[in-house]
């Protein structure tokens, strides 16, 4: 999608629909699409004022075809933030405005209790994520499975996302890291093996695509196993 995303819209419509949203921009001085936030629509010179992730502001002429815009929505789900993970999903709303707005998203952190304790020990202000999360959604990097396990097991990271659907996270009062599928705990990680209850076996084909060695790295715990262990 190019600058024509504003085709047929007057300045008032553009401001009402897109001001405060994050979209992607391809400008002559940059290489490829990158996220920007539309912060103002100038009625004096027919410009859109955008803010980059770096904080830099830039005037973009609406009618200049060298500047191409896209309001393609980013992939939501797990996202690596600092030393932990957030799960980002859409809020249930009757009406959606165009573009991405952070306040229209639901953000869950893995693991909030543990993060609070770590920040108290370090005597720092706790903030699970900052406003630049809306920019990170367009350039999210996932951690390879074995690297994620090592960093979480060693305590270097609280959690690491391995795909939009899965993350490995430490949890307060848990001896071993846990595997999360979206916002739910689905397994326990022991060394490089994931143990999943047989009632959750339906997610294994999805998990298999994200774990090296496929089924050899996944152990399904049956009711008989639980009885034997007890």
Q: State residue 94's pLDDT score.
A: 63
pLDDT digits (tens, 9 = 90+) for 166-213: 999 998 888 889 999 988 899 898 877 888 888 888 888 888 888 776
pLDDT digits (tens, 9 = 90+) for 35-50: 999 999 887 778 899 9
- Can you list the alpha helix ranges (DSSP code H) found in the chain? 11-18, 112-121, 133-136, 145-153, 204-208, 223-229
d(CA 51, CA 22): 9
**What pLDDT tens digit does each residue of the chain (230 aa) get?**
444 577 778 888 888 888 899 999 998 887 789 999 999 988 777 889 999 999 999 999 888 888 888 888 899 999 999 889 999 998 876 655 567 888 888 888 877 777 777 777 656 666 778 888 999 999 889 999 889 989 998 888 999 999 999 999 998 888 889 999 988 899 898 877 888 888 888 888 888 888 776 556 777 775 445 334 43
Q: State residue 1's pLDDT score.
A: 43
Q: State residue 100's pLDDT score.
A: 84
User: 16 - beta bridge partners?
Assistant: none
Q: State residue 126's pLDDT score.
A: 62
CA angle 215, 220, 221 (to 5 degrees): 160
Between the alpha carbon of residue 122 and those of residues 11, 164, 174, 222, the distances in Å are: 48, 30, 21, 42
Q: State residue 10's pLDDT score.
A: 83
d(CA 102, CA 37): 11
Question: Which domains, ranges and CATH numbers included, belong to the chain?
Answer: 3-70 (2.30.30.100), 77-229 (no CATH)
Q: State residue 123's pLDDT score.
A: 60
Paired tokens of 175: 């001896």
Q: Are 179 and 160 in contact (CB under 8 A)?
A: no
Instruction: Describe the chain by its helix, strand, coil percentages, rounded to 5.
Output: 25, 30, 40
SS3 label, residue 217: helix
- Tell me phi and psi for residue 119, to 5 degrees: -70, -35
């Amino acid at each position: 999608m190019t600058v024509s995303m504003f085709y047929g819209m007057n300045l008032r419509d553009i401001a009402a629909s897109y001001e405060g949203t994050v979209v992607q921009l391809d400008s002559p001085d940059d290489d490829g699409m990158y996220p920007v936030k539309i912060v103002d629509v100038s009625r004096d010179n027919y410009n859109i004022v955008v803010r980059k992730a770096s904080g830099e502001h830039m005037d973009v002429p609406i009618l200049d075809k060298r500047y191409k815009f896209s309001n393609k929505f980013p992939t939501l789900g797990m996202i690596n933030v600092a030393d932990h993970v957030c799960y980002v999903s859409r809020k249930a709303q009757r009406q959606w405005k165009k573009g991405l707005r952070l306040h229209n998203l639901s953000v869950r952190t893995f693991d909030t209790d543990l993060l609070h304790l770590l920040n108290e020990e370090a005597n720092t202000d706790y903030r699970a994520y900052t406003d630049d999360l809306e920019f990170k959604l367009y350039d999210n990097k996932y951690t390879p499975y074995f690297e994620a396990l090592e960093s979480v097991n060693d305590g270097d990271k609280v959690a690491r996302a391995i795909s939009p659907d899965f993350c490995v996270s430490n949890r307060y009062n848990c001896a071993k890291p846990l595997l999360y599928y979206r916002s739910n705990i689905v397994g326990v990680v022991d060394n490089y093996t994931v143990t999943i209850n047989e009632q959750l076996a339906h997610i294994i084909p999805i998990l298999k695509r994200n774990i090296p060695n496929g089924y050899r790295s996944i152990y399904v715990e049956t009711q008989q196993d639980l009885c034997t262990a007890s």
